[in-house]
Amino acid sequence: MKRTCKIGSIVAIAAIMFGCKTTQQIADKETHQFRYEIEATDVGSQGTYQLKVWTYSKDANTAIEQAKKNAVHGVIFKGYAGKAGVIAGQRPLVSNPALETEREDYFKPFFTTGGRYQQFVGLANNGAIASGDRIKIGKEYKIGVVVSVNVAALRKDLETAGIIKKLGGGF
């Protein structure tokens, strides 16, 4: 076991020394471009949204983790359209899209790998991807992942951090 750790450490050090990027570093870079599509899939339990997030990535396996980040990002900054007569669309939690760069001190660590975004999102269907939800487009994949976002807890966290105003607090 110690030998594996030493080999892993040597590979990581070599990657840093020679400027190589790990799969996770590449995925994080792709995520911070926030290229994704988001759609409602089903009505979640109270305080949650169940969404399908289409994430673009060169590595199909890392797209699942990136989809969780994208889902939370979408709920905060983009919102999503609903399905006529089935599921209502939702506006983003913030009304000012520039807030992401204005409050980079909050959002950059929030969306890093292992960041706090994980507290508010989970995979539906244990992260299983339907056969039609893995599409090869050129040199990358478009992967559809169904996630559940705890919007009530996310809203409360953003209110506590002073990112958004409390509901009913503006009257």
- Give the dihedral of Cα atoms 34, 39, 40, 44; nearest 10 deg: -20
Check: CB of residue 147 under 8 Å from CB of residue 71: yes
Q: pLDDT at residue 65 above 90? A: no
Q: What is the DSSP letter of 10?
A: H
Reading the block at residue 44, the tokens are 């979640």
Q: pLDDT at residue 160 above 90? A: yes
Binning pLDDT at 50, 70 and 90, where does residue 9 land?
A: very low
Environment class of 147 (CB within 10 Å of its CB; exposed 0-12, middle 13-18, buried 19+): buried
Q: pLDDT at residue 3 above 60? A: no
Q: What is the pLDDT of residue 13?
A: 47
Reading the block at residue 4, the tokens are 């594996």
Binning pLDDT at 50, 70 and 90, where does residue 12 land?
A: very low
Check: CB of residue 129 under 8 Å from CB of residue 139: no
Q: What is the pLDDT of residue 91?
A: 94
Closest by CA to 74, choosing from 37, 41, 48, is 37
Q: What is the pLDDT of residue 130?
A: 86
Q: pLDDT at residue 131 above 90? A: no
Reading the block at residue 22, the tokens are 């790990």
Q: What are the phi and psi torsion angles at 51 (to 5°)? A: -130, 155
Residue 119 or 46, more confident: 119
Reading the block at residue 148, the tokens are 């559940």
Q: What is the mean pLDDT of residues 29-48?
A: 78
CA 97 to chain centre: 16
Q: What is the mean pLDDT of residues 78-106?
A: 90
Distance CA 69, CA 111 (A): 7
Q: What is the mean pLDDT of residues 48-57?
A: 92
Q: Report the mean per-residue pLDDT for the chain.
A: 82
